[in-house]
Structure 1
Amino acid sequence: MKYINKTNLLLLSLFILQITVAQELPERKMTIQQLADSLVAQNIQIKLADVSVKLADARIGDVKMNRLPDIGADMNTMYLSDVTIYDKHWSQFQKVDLPNFGHQFTLSAKQLIYAGGRITKGIELAELSKNLAENQFTDLGLGVKLNAAELYLNLYNLQNQKEILLNNEILANERLKNVKLFFDQNMVTKNEVLRAEVLRRQLEQNILQIQNSIEITNKNLLLYAGLREEVLIVPDVSNINHQIREQDEAYFLELAYKNNPQLSISDIQIAMSKKNLELTKAENMPTLAAFSGYNASRPMTSSVPALDFYSTTYQVGLNLSYNFETLYKNGKKVLVDKVLIEQAELAKIAVMQQIETQVNAAYKNYRQAVMQTEVSAINEKAADENYRITELKYKNQLVTITEIIDASNTKLQAELQTLDDRTAIILNYIKLLRVTGQL
């Protein structure tokens, strides 16, 4: 311990404290399916999107109410003054007594018969809005699942990195012990001891950094999944069947064009733009409505003298109306609607191109990760063997500390590369599922 100064002790104390704090969180194993179930039930973004679907459905019912008749009733109770008659010079000429208390009651109903299809088209537009909200809900769900899966796999990678570093730290401590033993026997210089200590401290710092990243990623994943309990999620990827077998890129592109909700959203937006054009043209049509009314009033002021009786009337008829301003105003609206249709159609082409690039990237990266994993597994095995041989040589004083440190670094990098490649396979497979609408 004579070579450990106060700085080293401080670093070691921080490391032990960090590990102790991390261990206070109970671990909870979680599969990718369990994560998806938690997202569907708890994620706030998905809940907001679900409310949007319910709102769109409620608006359909609201628009359908336009098919029902408009019915109204009006009742008045009043005090009616006597009539005072003046001549043209505003001198009082005569005063006529009237019944002073009066009542009025009116009942009216109006039923739209024809409006150029505006109500039907409005209902169809509301139904399209609901379909749009449903597809946006599906697309958002896929996006949330992908983001959560990226956090999940990042946490998996970090936890395995930490395990690799801890294993290499054990080797570094054993190596430092051997170097000190050789130094005590005057077989190596102090420089070799210092080099071994530096490597061990570097591993300790790396473990601290990884632990901090684990805690941050775990917290983000807990919030994303809507989990309120403070646990350390331990990803379990053993049940992920990440194999695409013999399917080629064209197969996944066709699948994406068929299932990706973003394309459905584009189709609905085109349909909504066309429906708006139909509604604009429908405004050029006349409106025909049936109406009826009933009126009862007291007193009867139409007779002389006024009578304190009720007079009742009713009416039934048809109303035909036409707004002539549409003849010169709607032309511009029609042009705007046509441009919006063109814009929606171009947007669909852009979405198709984006989907094609996403499929291509996910498929190519998946294949690359598969091939890299095969190579990195061979490299990891070779690096382990190289370290074993170099360590044996060092114990027999056939190589320097530099060579065994190089062998140790090579072994560590090979193990981390294998981990990255295996994680990349799963991640790109999940991205492929997302873009093809199957996640």
Structure 2
Amino acid sequence: MNNLRLLTGLLSVVLLSGGVRAYGQSVITLEEIFKTAEAHSAQLRPSFTAQTESEHEMRVARAGRLPDVNASLYVSYIGDGFTTKRDFSDWQKAPIPHLGDGVALNVNQPIYTGGAVTNSIGLAKLKSTAARYATDLQRDNIRFRLAGFYLDIYKYTNLRGVMESNIAAAAKVLKEMQARHEQGTVLQNDITRYELLLSNLELQLVRINNTLDILNTHLVTTAGMPEGTLVVPDSTILTRSLPKEGAEWWQQEAVGNSPMLSLARSSVDISRKAESLVRSERLPKIGIQASWTIDGPILVEVPPINRNLSYWYIGIGASYNLSSLYKSNRSLAKSRAATKRAVEELDAARENLSMAVSADHVHYFEAYEELKTQQKSVELAERNYRTISTRYSADMALITDMLDATNAKLEAEQQLVNARINIIYYYYKLLFTTGKI
């Protein structure tokens, strides 16, 4: 058999058989994974529950506008009394009817609470809004995490295809070398070298498969997909046309859409509303009061009258907590400090967001430059491969030179695919940072 022709055929197999393999599984797009996570992710459900809880808290706060109604009923045993002179002499027994009973109904409708009820409702609304922003932030975190798993699966699947091709090629070359060794044209040292190479490649393949299993498990579990699902990335994701807007456009999008920034703004609003709630403690409370009572016996008469006495009233009552004049100052100072801290945290969040957007934008366009570089590397690797192949045909290069050239070409092609994936990754990173993922 012509050795050059055999080697050329093996190298062609290596070059043509790489890439992503689906292994008979259906392709799942990243958008489909996002939708699945929205409905089934266990890591997202607590955020939805917290949002529901905040809505119930708002209903509780609104109930503060309703009247307070108290009803009481009692039955008692009353012992006999006694009377004395003012110097406690001339003790005489005073029989009293022993059965005591009473019914009372009190109604208090708040009219003016100094803003306490209104501020409580407003505070509950702000907390509900903050819970919604927190849910958006958690959703974005999960989506970005899923995008990372998804793109890593794409990378390692591509690497697995390259590794399998290298293993197949190395095994065939090793078989040919063993045949030539029997003919006395190849040294045992060369065979040992290729056996070591094949062993290392097989170990790398095991590690790649293990990494793919881990990534697939993390993605499936995080997205809430059925256990045992094998995610096969959509290869068309590399052909998408992505926007190339300037940094200023992304900064504006971040200011308007970032849930992290919206959550920081909500913290400021909540602190200010809490401050108003503390101020309301210094104001009087006014309400309509109504009461009806019936009880007996009538003990204010001597001797007691064994009858029930019923009376009712309606009017306007006002109350003022005098201790708030000296107690609320400390609470108000604390609330003002909390508001100041929330404002400072908002300013820090703006700065951090601006820096993150700038860095992600730089990396995004840097990924395009990396793509150009890798495209050039593929071109150079292919040129080098053709040169080495020609020299090998003229017996001016060794077989190791040919394999090195082939590996360099395969590595360049793999890095080219990874460079395209990096563009997708940094695009989703920008979407995550700006709250548009």
Instruction: Calculate the TM-score normalised by the size of structure 1.
Output: 0.87
Aligned to 1:176: 174
Q: Look up the match of 2:187.
A: 189
Q: Is 2:261–2:346's contact at 8 Å kept on the other side of the alignment? A: yes
Q: 1:435, CA displacement in angstroms?
A: 1.5
Between the aligned partners of 1:47 and 1:182, the Cα distance in structure 2 is: 65
Counterparts in 2 of 1:390-405, with a 5 A limit? 390=388, 393-394=391-392, 397-405=395-403
Offset at 1:308?
2.5
What residue is the counterpart of 1:207 in the other structure?
205
Secondary structure, in 3 states, of the residue corresponding to 1:238?
helix
Question: Mean Cα displacement is larger for which, 184-193 or 268-277?
Answer: 184-193
Which one of 318, 321, 333 corresponds to residue 319 of structure 2?
Answer: 321
> Match for residue 77 of structure 1?
75
Choose from 52, 60, 63 the match for 1:62: 60
**What does residue 40 of structure 1 align with?**
38
Q: Distance in 2 between matches of 1:253 and 1:108?
A: 59
Shift of 1:181: 3.9
SS of 2:44's partner is helix
State the partner residue of 1:428. 426
Q: Give the whole-Å Cα distance in 1 for the aligned partners of 2:169 and 2:345.
A: 58
Q: Deviations over 1:93-150 (max 9, x none)?
A: 3333333223211111112221211110111011000000001101110011001110
Conserved 8 A contact 1:104-1:298: yes
1:282-361 equivalences under 5 Å are 282-361=280-359
Seen in structure 2, the aligned counterparts of structure 1 residues 383 and 194 have a Cα distance that, compared at 3 Å, is: farther
Q: Distance in 2 between matches of 1:96 and 1:233?
A: 92
The Cα of 1:418 is off from its aligned counterpart by 1.5
Which residue among 48, 51, 65 is the counterpart of 1:50? 48
| Residue ranges of structure 2 left out of the alignment (5+ in a row) | 1-20
> 1:7: which partner in 2?
none
Aligned partner (choices 214, 233, 236) of residue 234 of structure 2: 236
**Contact 2:238-2:421 within 8 A present in 1 as well:** no
User: Offset of 1:160 from its aligned partner?
Assistant: 1.1
Q: For residues 30 and 70 of structure 1, what CA distance do their matches in structure 2 show?
A: 57
Quote the Cα distance in structure 2 between the aligned partners of 1:240 and 1:357: 28
Partners of 1:154 and 1:280 lie apart in 2 by 52
Whole-Å Cα distance in 2 between the matches of residues 293 and 167 of structure 1? Answer: 91
Q: Deviations over 1:206-250 (max 9, x none)?
A: 111101111111111111111232122111142577544441111
1:192–1:401 Cα contact (<8 Å) kept: no
Alignment equivalent of 1:263, drawn from 241, 256, 261: 261
Structure 2 Cα separation of the partners of residues 242 and 341 of structure 1? 45
- The CA distance in 2 between the partners of 1:273 and 1:241, in whole Å, is 48
**Cα distance, 1:432 vs structure 2:** 1.1
CA shift in 2, pair 1:194/1:376, >3 Å: same
Match of 1:108 among 106, 109, 113: 106
How many residues are aligned here?
Answer: 416
Change (3 A) 1:392 1:212: farther
CA distance in structure 1 between the partners assigned to 2:340 and 2:102 by the alignment:
56
Q: Does structure 2 retain, via aligned residues, the 8 Å contact 1:32–1:237?
A: no
- Among 414, 417, 424, the alignment partner of 2:415 is 417
Counterpart code for 1:438: K
SS of alignment partner, residue 302 of structure 2: coil
- Partners of 1:86 and 1:237 lie apart in 2 by 104
TM-fit CA distance, 1:85: 4.3
Change (3 A) 1:189 1:359: same
Deviates more, 1:187-196 or 1:290-299: 187-196
2:228 aligned counterpart, secondary structure: coil
Change in 2 beyond 3 A, CA 1:193/1:401: farther
Measured after TM superposition, the shift of residue 156 of structure 1 is: 1.3
CA contact (8 A) 2:221 2:227 kept: no
Which shifted more, 303-312 or 80-89? 80-89
- Counterpart of 1:424 in structure 2: which amino acid? N
Instruction: Answer with 295-304 or 49-58: which moved more.
Output: 295-304
User: Quick one: which of 370, 373, 377 aligns to 2:371?
Assistant: 373
Q: Distance in 2 between matches of 1:158 and 1:288?
A: 71
State the alpha-carbon separation in 1 of the partners of residues 99 and 332 from structure 2: 56
Measure how far apart 1:70 and its partner are: 0.8
Question: Structure 2 counterpart of 1:284, which letter?
Answer: R
Offset from partner CA, 1:146-196 (integer Å, 9 cap, x none) = 011101111111111101111222222233234334433333333222222
Q: Percent identity?
A: 25
Deviation of 1:203 after TM superposition, in Å, equals 1.4
Asked if 2 retains the 8 angstrom alpha-carbon contact of 1:164 and 1:415, the reply is no
Structure 1: runs of 5+ lacking an equivalent: 1-22
* RMSD (Å), alpha carbons: 2.5
1:242, 1:425 within 8 Å by CA — same for their partners in 2? no
Structure 1 counterpart SS, 2:137? helix
